Amino acid sequence: MATNMRGLTQFIADIRGARVRELEEKRINKEMANIRKKFKDGNLDGYQKKKYVAKIIFTYILGYKVDVGHMEAVNLISSSKYSEKQIGYLAVTLLMHENSDFLRLVVNSIRKDLDENNEINNCLALHAIANVGGSEMAEALAEDVHRLLISPTSQSFVKKKAALTLLRLYRKHPDVIPAAEWALRIVSIMDDQDLGVVVCVTSLVMALAQDHLEAFAVCYTKAVDRLHRLVIEHEYSAQYAYYKVPSPWLLVKLLRLLQYYAPSGSFASGAHFLIRIKYLILGDPTIRSVLHNVLQTTMNNSAEPSRNVQHNNAQHAVLFEAISLAIHLDTNSPLVGTAAVILARFISSKETNVRYLGLDAMAHLAARADSLEPIKKQQGTIILSLRDKDISVRRRALDLLYSMCDVDNSELIVGELLRYLKVADYALREEMVLKIAILTEKYASSYKWYVDTILQLISSAGEHVGDEVWYRVVQIVTNTEDLQEYAAKVIFEHLKAPSTHESLVKVGGYILGEYGHLIANEAGYSPIEQFQVLHHKSQFCVASTRSLLLSTYIKWVNVFPEIKPQLLNIFERYRHVLDAELQQRACEFYALASRPDDDELLQNVCEEMPPFPARESALLSRLNRKHGDTEDKRTWIHGGKEANLERQATNRKTTLGLQPNGNGSASAAQMDGQDIMGSLAGLDISESTTHNDTPNPPLGSTPISSSASIPDNILRLTVGPSVERWYNKLTYNAEGVLYEDVQIQIGVKSKYQGHLGQLAIYMGNKVSAPLTSFTTTVSVSDPEALSISFAKISPSTIAPRTQTQQLLHVECKKMFTTPPILTVSFLAGSHQTIRIRLPVVVTKFFEHVKLGQADFFERWKLIGGPPREAQTVFPVDLNAANQLDLVKNRQVVSGHNLNVLDGIDPNPNNLVAAGVLHMSVEGKVGCLLRVEPNRDAKLCRLTVRSTSENVAEEVQKLLQGPLKADT
């Protein structure tokens, strides 16, 4: 740049040659004055504008304020020359903030560059959008950036920049990006041949999927397929192998993306669509099997460390993410057992990063696992990590100890944390205090141990103890009568120490004021001694603490009349202080204490505090706020399996709209104000409520609202003149065409036996170009009734004029009425999506039954009429000979797997049939039917009887459709 502009080169040389700052400023001021004059005079060509704007940019980079050249930079962007356009864009991104008025002038120029076929101009425009990215610019240009990303003519490096630009815009202005609407089109690019494009698009999908799980559910299959191709089949070019590890950045992102979706059987959302997708994708045995192979291979490849540091780093990055995914999917899997052995080795590694990641992964295991035994074996090593030279490792060790604590090791871990607290970093102490307080309360073996530990905690780290901690002590002591005398003695002994933190004085003031009379008759705990110890400490306390102590003194006036003169003297002295709160209390208390001894007002005012009502501890909410979600949301929290189950339950309630306040930030703000004072509402510390007796509901047992609607744009079926006819025909035929257009043909061939079935779906590419990013998914309305899984992952590409086959395994568990929906999406110039019903209906699981005339009518009468009978009368068509189409009627009935019984009905035009429905969960259900057509009336009566009224009604609907006259 500088070599082509001698004026700029000389200016830079002069600046560098300035020996003092004053000379530099003088030279810059002179140049700026000259530039202003040139701009004011006008008539500058493109080269001169470029040169002067470049000088302005250099001046700005040096740290000087610049108030000239903005309009010239805007004009340079419109130039047709690359060098001038480049300087213009550079000036815009550096000199203008996102709310600058000048940006409105460049939006059209940027859009023009995005629309051009020049890749260089495309990239310059994308850089400007990503770097400036104001709200107005995002709204105006997001569509253009998206178009550039999905365009089949865009070069790979343009797609990469477009994906990252969209990611930048979404992080700054999420409302501008219609993520759900663009989901399928963006996810389809994860099948791109260029791994660089896949890395960038996966980064975008990760950000979008966190907030739109339903819309991006199909990315799960794409991620598993790409992992399989990279790790198992080694489908990648040599340029993407980093020290023999295939594209580690992409592997890490894909493994992390899979963790955003709950494991199969754990339905965290209340939307029917999401349940179907999770069940069929995450619960698909094929997907699980492929993913298991990927994780197993990853762990085997990383079993032995290499001498090459870079190779180790890449392998470990992938390995730790694979371990996290294995833990996320199933903690009882053999993979997790292997991972525990690997982690045990890593937490003792000489490398700081490996120790850090090992402890973090082990904390994840502790947060999910049913058994903590594999982690407890490494307890000594973990405790030693508290004294690691690196503070980040010490913090991870603290998190792990907190997560792995249970009833068996709580005293050991809490004791170790208390010892370490005295020498811990100040940055860790506040968090340590919260965790020690939570663990002490949660796993207290006795109330005495709880009081001893908490008071020791307050003594050791008083300045780091929040008000929530001593409030909690007050609640528990107040609610536990057996503990009150012991607590009063222990707090008195702590107050006798030469130096005592103010939080301890507050606890002592409250407990001695309420329960000091319980120990007043014992040696060393007399009322005067209690008063002297507490009053001596008050001299070093702030006004709020002294106010609390005045409340203690008025209670002592009521129970310790022997020290009433000393207390009245204190009230008298505080009546004249400047602090309004202290003065008001002292005046009121002095008036109360001065009343006659037989006056009951003082006794009524100073009655003992009643037990606090049950309330959740404010400590947990305080700790959770400290660990708020970052840009990349965590799928788990520190604190063991119980804490994570509670978090999932809370997330389900939020998703289902059960919380009155849907605004998370507002809710957190309210909690800030309520946690401290509201926690005084207390906790019933009785044995029955210390540990919550109400079990958490199973993850899959969340009641689903029947009014939950499916978004129209997600499951809207494809319509066409022949789609309905093809589907209806296949309900009573084993094979045929299910869908066809100018690009693709979809055919079905099926066979069923009992409650099991197998569908072969044939996908034929009818055009001379390949169908890329090919994806097939199946969704069902009730996964508990009908199970469908693919035999293998579908190929991502179908070559021109070729056909591919996919096998589907079907199982009927219970009665169902809604057929599954097949979604096929692919790229053929533009993105195409086809959604059609699969001909899997309840009659496919019928088997023939042979019955004689007597048996048939006996069972017919035994079943009886409604509600186990479904009957309808409908018009029928006559054939060309003006006769009833008895062949068609017989074909429809037998095609629905009902055995047509000849010789049962004396009318030869009538049909009688019987069958048995097989279901793996609900067993067998018998079904009988009669078809009675009337040629003269052109009507037909269909009667179905079954031991299940739902079966009778569904079979009647299925047969009526093809038998009914065309309208």
Map tokens 């068996």 to a residue: 408
Number of neighbours of residue 626 by Cβ within 10 angstroms: 9
CB neighbour list of residue 802: distance below 8 Å, 6 or more residues apart? 764, 765
Cα distances from 759 to residues 276, 736, 747, 750, 751, in angstroms, run 19, 12, 10, 4, 7
912 vs 854: CA distance, rounded Å: 13
Tokens of 633: 């949301």
Number of neighbours of residue 480 by Cβ within 10 angstroms: 20
383 vs 400: CA distance, rounded Å: 10
Query: Is 51 marked within a binding site?
Result: yes
Any idea how long the chain is? 967
Q: Which SS3 state, helix, strand or coil, does residue 95 take? A: helix
Query: Is 160 marked within a binding site?
Result: no
Query: Is 952 marked within a binding site?
Result: no
DSSP string, 601-623: HHHHHTPPPPPPPP---HHHHHH
CB neighbour list of residue 630: distance below 8 Å, 6 or more residues apart? none
Query: Is 471 marked within a binding site?
Result: no
Query: Is 380 marked within a binding site?
Result: no
DSSP string, 160-216: HHHHHHHHHHHHH-GGGS-HHHHHHHHHHGGG-S-HHHHHHHHHHHHHHHHH-TTTT
CB neighbour list of residue 241: distance below 8 Å, 6 or more residues apart? 247
Query: Is 260 marked within a binding site?
Result: no
Query: Is 54 marked within a binding site?
Result: yes
Contact between 556 and 535 under an 8 Å Cβ cutoff? The reply is: no
Local structure of residue 767 (DSSP, 8 states): S
954 vs 863: CA distance, rounded Å: 17
Angle ∠(863,864,866) on CA atoms, nearest 5: 115
Query: Is 422 marked within a binding site?
Result: no
Secondary structure, 3-state, 618-660: HHHHHHHHHCCCCCCCCCCCCCHHHHHHHHHHHHHHHHHCCCC
Contact between 926 and 913 under an 8 Å Cβ cutoff? The reply is: no
Contact between 925 and 917 under an 8 Å Cβ cutoff? The reply is: yes
Query: Is 55 marked within a binding site?
Result: yes
Annotated binding site: 6-7, 38, 47, 51-55
